[in-house]
Structures are given as structure tokens and as C-alpha cells.
Amino acid sequence: MCWDVVLAVTVFLFMRKGESGGDMLHFSHDAFGASRIQELTETLPVRHVVLPDKPKLKFLNKVPNLKKAKKEAKKLWDIQGPAKSANTFTTGQYAIVAMGGGYLHWGHIEMMRLTINRKMDARTTFAMWRINAPYKPITRKGLGQRMGGGKGAIDHYVTPVRYGRLIVEVGGKVELGEVEHILTEVAKKLPFPAKVMSKESLATLQKKQADMEQNNQNPWTFKKIAQGNMLGIRRVLSPFDLHNHGRFTGKFHFPQRV
């Protein structure tokens, strides 16, 4: 009978506490088996993030709005070497980072936009582009044409991407585990190696590369060998190799080289 009274009083106090908007109650037992009530106050970190009015990725045009489209050369240098812009975070906490160079077609951009916009929660998350709409023209000749006759007509447009550039930036009142599977699904479908990184992991990667250069104990680095022209290696090196100290071969990056 005594335990029934204790249980009834406990339920009554719990209901009164819930109606008053107070903290939740927790039941525990001490060493003598007596029941007592404790108040739990959860202290979870709250992100003070202001969500934009339009949190989803916006539509990017397939063809640039130009009065007269001009043909261009290949200019492969625009996907070689490290990125000089959009290589740091702005307002987001997570992003898809390119780990190599390549060209993004409009189909890749639409795939990213549709996948992220459908699966993310717009009430707590926002996404923003860190790339431009396709602007570089790619020419192609029609099937069955003979050689010669000048450069072919413009077939489509692409967006050049270099190593270290942020493709899509995501932020809001979310943790990495809530959006990592969405960004990983997108990163696997890109035409170049890409990785999902947070602001902290990107800073750790940059610090690791700086520590490798500072604490390197091997005196025979690529920079020293190239500057000393050992075995006449300057004959086969390009200005691109001398500028990047052999860390890049075209659009490919060698992270272990200092």
C-alpha cells in the first residue's frame, strides 16, 4: 500500500512539473532502495546560425547569357595546380572539397542540386554554391565530317575546378553526421576525386601539409634538386613543375611530396 501511495504522488508531481514547463524529472534509487526525484537540465551546444531566406541551392544556367559566343582554346592550365579562390569556408561548416582537377558539366551540377535539395532539411540547413555556372565553351565537330575545315561549333559549356576548391558549402544547426551521407553520395559521382570535409578537418589537413614542409628531414627535396639542376633535370621540367615544386602533375596532386 505504501508503494502505491509513493507511485501516485510521483506521477502527480511529474504531471505538475510537465504542465508548468519545467525541466524533466529523473527517478533514481539510493543505496537504501528509497526512490527520489532529480531534475535533469541538458546543456547541448546551440549553434547561433542565421539561415538565409532561400536555403536551397539555386538553379545554374546551362548556357551563359552572351551576345555572341566565342570559341576558346583548351587552356588545360585552368584545372592544373591548386585553387586560388574559393578554397576556404565562408558561412558554412561542411563542404565538398575537390582533391583533383577536372571539368564539371551541367549534368553534374543538376545532380548535386537535386540530390542535396531533396534530402536536406531546409528548416535547419542551408546550402550554397562555391562554383560558377558553366562558362568555358567546348567545341565538337559533327559525326562523319572530314578532317579540316576549321574549329568545330560550340557543343556545351563546363566549369573548370582545381585541387582544393570548395564545390558546395553546407551549414546551419546540424552536425556532420546528419549531412555527411548526402554529401558523400554526391562526391562519389563527380568526375574528379572529392571529399567531404568540415572546417576543422580542412584546417587540420592544411596544418599537416605545413608541418611536413617544416619538419622534413630529407635534404633531397624536389625543390632543391630542381634548383640545383642535378643531372640536368631542368631540361625536362616545365615552369609549372618549378612553380609547384613537383606537387602536381597536371590535374593530379601528390600529397606525400614536400
How confident is the model at residue 9, as a pLDDT? 63
Radius of gyration of the chain (CA): 28
Locate the domains of the chain by residue range.
Answer: 2-40, 76-199, 216-253
How do 136-140 and 94-98 pair as beta strands? unpaired
- Concatenate the DSSP letters of all residues of 107-144 into one string: HHHHHHHHHHHHHS-TTTEEEEE-SPPP-EEEEEPPTT
Confidence of residue 84 (pLDDT cuts 50, 70, 90): very high
Are 96 and 187 within 8 A, CB to CB? yes
Mean pLDDT of 211-221: 91
How confident is the model at residue 32, as a pLDDT? 47
Name the fold adopted by 76-199: Aldehyde Oxidoreductase; domain 3 (3.90.1170)
Per-residue pLDDT for 56 more than 60? Answer: yes
Confidence of residue 46 (pLDDT cuts 50, 70, 90): very low
Per-residue pLDDT for 244 more than 60? Answer: yes
Confidence of residue 98 (pLDDT cuts 50, 70, 90): very high
Grid coordinates belonging to 186: 554526391
| Mean pLDDT, the chain, whole residue set | 86
Grid coordinates belonging to 45: 551546444
How confident is the model at residue 24, as a pLDDT? 47
